[in-house]
Amino acid sequence: SSELTQDPAVSVALGQTVRITCQGDSLRSYYASWYQQKPGQAPVLVIYGKNNRPSGIADRFSGSSSGNTASLTITGAQAEDEADYYCNSRDSSGNHLVFGGGTKLTVL
Amino acid sequence: EVQLVESGGDLVQPGGSLRLSCAASGFTFSTYWMHWVRQAPGKGLVWVSRINSDGSSTNYADSVKGRFTISRDNAKNTLYLQMNSLRAEDTAVYYCARVVDSGSSLDYWGQGTLVTVSS
C-alpha cells in the first residue's frame, strides 16, 4: 500500500504531551517527515529523518518510528502548536511521495 | 534567505491549460530536487510531481500523469508546472517545495498559487 493513515483529530491540554501517529507500509523502509500547517499558511517542516529538527523548530517537537508507524511527539504543548499536522514519506516504489490525511491538533 | 515564489494561478475552464512558475532565490537552485504539492480547499496535502536537479528525471502522481509536465530552467532559477486538460478536481492551491537530500523531506515551501477550474 502507498497510503499513510493519520487520526483526523487529536486534542491535548496546555503543557501536556501529545503523540500524533502515522501508519503505512512504506514506513518500514523510509523515514517519515512531519509538517505543521496553520490556517492560510504554507506547511512548515518540523521533523525529518530519524529525528531531526530544522533550524528554528522548538525542541519540544520530536519524532520516532517503529515498524510501520511513525510518531510526532510534542512535549509540553503550547497554544501556538494548534495546527494541522501532516506526515509524508516515499511510497513503496521510492519514486513518488505520499502524504497522510492530516491530524488537526487542538490545544485545550 | 531561501525564497520560493509561485505564480500563474488563475480561473480556467475545464479542459483548459495553465502554466505555473516557481521562482527560487537564496540557494543554489541547480543542486536541489524540487516538488509540486497541491491542496484542495479544506482538504489535505497531495503530492503532484517531482524533478531532479538537472531536469533529466521526473515523476508524477497517477492523477496527473499524462496531463501535467514538470520542468525547470536552472539558468533562470525557475521551476514550472504545465497543466493541460484541467478538471474540476484539479482545483487547489499549488505549492512548490525544495527537498532535503533528494529524499522526501520538503524543507522550504512557497506561499502557494490558487488554480480554480470551473465553467
Predicted confidence (pLDDT) per residue in B6-36, tens digit: 999 999 999 999 999 999 999 999 999 999 9
Mean pLDDT of B72-95: 98
Q: Cell numbers 502557494 correspond to what residue?
A: B112
Which chain B residues are within 8 Å of A84, Cβ to Cβ?
44
Whether residue A43 contacts residue B45, with contact meaning beta carbons closer than 8 Å, is answered with yes
Mean pLDDT of B49-55: 96
Q: Are B105 and A100 an interchain contact pair (Cβ–Cβ within 8 Å)? A: no
DSSP code at position B35? E
B39 pLDDT tier (thresholds 50, 70, 90):
very high
DSSP code at position B71? E
Which chain A residues are within 8 Å of B44, Cβ to Cβ?
84, 86, 99-102
Q: Does A96 touch chain B (CB under 8 A)?
A: yes
Mean pLDDT of A15-30: 96
Which amino acid appears at position A95 of this protein? N
Could you tell me what percentage of chain A is helix, strand and coil, using 3-state DSSP and rounding each to the nearest 5?
5, 50, 45
Nearest to A35, CA basis, from A20, A14, A15, A17: A20
Write the CA distances from A45 to A94, A107, B63, B102, integer angstroms: 20, 20, 25, 15
How near does any CA of chain A get to the CA of B84, in Å?
Answer: 21
Whether residue A28 contacts residue A77, with contact meaning beta carbons closer than 8 Å, is answered with no
